[in-house]
Copies of this chain bind each other. A is one copy, B any other.
């Protein structure tokens, strides 16, 4: 049996969940709503535990609602998803963000991680310009199996957090800010040269990627309670 479903315009990797513990997701940008719908159906028919559509405008989210009445969505984060068989949660991912504007990326990371079967705690708007605002997050940072830092502009939060915790830290630069923020490139570069060791980085605004690797790390490290 072939380990993918050939739709002509797409070859849906229905064995990815089996192979890697995480089902293929659908990046809606660049796809027609009809394509989103067809791929989502194929994934469900391929017995995916969940289906997640990212960077989904209203038309793409509507496409997913046509696939399943139990589709959930978050318009601001441009997400839609169907949760069928989410694994029992193992491990803890703590997400901290630098500012209010990072909320959509935080949500994308959170939903992805939860669909893969881990617990997620979020501390929003803890940027270092008022470093005392990080205090309430300290306990959740220390007990986390993996920490995700979502921050734009200078992304200094990644270094500060990276210097405090013993868990692996995944940085997600965001495209907030203007001018020399360079649509997130400055935050990306900044996180990559963080003076704290033990920080690894995903693409700008890539909450999905961060959620994926964070869930893997946390599930392997964490207990199931």
Contact = CB atoms under 8 A, between A and B. Distances in A.
Interface of A: 2-4, 6, 8-11, 13, 15-16, 19-22, 24-25, 27, 29-32, 35, 39, 55, 76, 98-101, 103, 124-133, 136, 145, 153-156, 158-160, 162-170, 173, 175-186, 188-206, 208-210, 212-213, 216-217, 220-221
A4 B132 contact: yes
B10 A124 contact: yes
Contacts of A191: 154
A197 B13 contact: no
The number of times this chain is found in the oligomer is: 8
A200 B170 contact: yes
B103 A153 contact: no
Contact of A205 (B156, B179, B183, B197): B179
A165 B221 contact: no
A160 to B, nearest CB: 5
Contact of A200 (B29, B153, B201): B201
Given A3-B132, A166-B19, A180-B204, A186 B195 contact: no
B193 A163 contact: no
Report, nearest first, the 5 A-B pairs whose CB atoms are least far apart.
A30-B101, A179-B204, A156-B156, A220-B221, A200-B200
Contact of A160 (B160, B199, B202): B160
A10 B99 CA distance: 7
Nearest to A195: B129
A16, A158, A188, A195 — most chain B CB neighbours (10 Å): A195
A29 B30 CA distance: 20
A192 B188 contact: yes
B195 A201 contact: no
A108 to B, nearest CB: 12
A147 to B, nearest CB: 11
A199 B4 CA distance: 22
Nearest to A167: B216
